[in-house]
Amino acid sequence: MSRSTRPRRRAAAALVTAAVAAVIGLGGASAAQADTYHTPWGPQQVGGAILGTHKALGGPGSALGLPVTSERGTPPRHRPVQPLQPRRHLLDAPHRCARRLGSDLVLVKPAGLGDRPLGYPTSSELTTPDGVGRLNAFQHGAIYWRPQTGPKAVRGAIYQRYASLGWETSGLGYPMTDELATPDGRGRYSAFQWGNIYWTPWTGANAVWGAISVVYAQQGWERGALGYPLTSEMRTPSRIGRYNHFEGNGSIYWAPQTGAHVISGHIRMAWADMGWENSELGFPASPEYALEDGGRGQDFEFGWIEWYPGEGATAYVEE
């Protein structure tokens, strides 16, 4: 072997070793496939699942544009991430399926979620069914975007409740805030267009919206006498009205003919014993009020209940 051929063979062996290392590092032969783009920032490589998705979305001519760096790892599991111009990212998820994330979604939200991460994306950026917003689904939640609010994250048990109700097509609408701690420090909540979802370790996640949410707000939200919701808004057995039950031995009932009213304490217990809204009294028709002789009263569709200390509650049905 001449001295002149030995360096060339060593160089070739080094290239083979580097190629094998690239395959192992990126998780298989498919990950070793890469294209080099010549950009204003120098030559940049895009490979594997990220390359496939980039091409499927239109490559450099798409909204993703040209890569601004070559593929690199992201903590903590060193999944490849490919920054793309203008400020849009593709992440290679654990199952090696690259997803497209809008610039606001990637660059704004994950940094603000602290110890409550969303995890890896499980969908590309999608248009919501109503055509108004955009969303990305993640392992532990989703990020929604609307022109009026920007990106908002919904996660964990609150997201699961949101999903069970129909997401943005439900009575809640789109998220207006990220998940936040409640002022009393006992729970978490997310605010939506027409209501909220509250969560505590004791009650789970429950939604309050619409006219019931308006009355709940008038009572002081979770810091009022009602406390946190024990149920999401539910339809009454008659299918005429709606209601939520709450921690503080109280409920809010709504019907088209009566509106939304709180019912609690001894009057609520007497009404429950009679059969709730299916009783002769029907739905609550007024808030609870004070009686002149020290008692409490509440009006219903077809009568009223009075309560006095030491005497208990008595129901009166209109003739």
Give buried/exposed letters for 87-97 (b at 16+ CB in 10 A, else e).
ebbbbbbeebb
Q: What is the pTM of this model?
A: 0.72
The last residue of one of the domains, among 101, 134, 163, is 101
The last residue of one of the domains, among 101, 130, 163, is 101
The last residue of one of the domains, among 101, 126, 158, is 101
In a domain, 282, yes or no: yes
How many C-beta atoms lie closer than 10 Å to residue 276's C-beta? Answer: 20
In a domain, 9, yes or no: no
In a domain, 45, yes or no: yes
In a domain, 219, yes or no: no
In a domain, 307, yes or no: yes
Range of the domain at 63: 16-101
193-196, long-range: CB < 8 A, 24+ apart: 195/171
In a domain, 249, yes or no: no
In a domain, 152, yes or no: no
Give the total number of structural domains in the chain.
2
pLDDT tens, position by position, for the chain (319 residues)? 444 444 444 444 443 344 334 333 434 434 457 888 676 656 767 677 666 766 766 677 665 666 656 655 555 544 555 555 554 555 554 444 445 555 444 433 443 344 567 888 888 899 999 999 999 999 999 999 999 999 999 999 999 999 999 999 999 999 999 999 999 999 999 999 999 999 999 999 999 999 999 999 999 999 999 999 999 999 999 999 999 999 999 999 999 999 999 999 999 999 999 999 999 999 999 999 999 999 999 999 999 999 999 999 999 999 8
Cα atoms in the Cβ-side hemisphere of radius 13 Å centred on 295: 16
In a domain, 3, yes or no: no
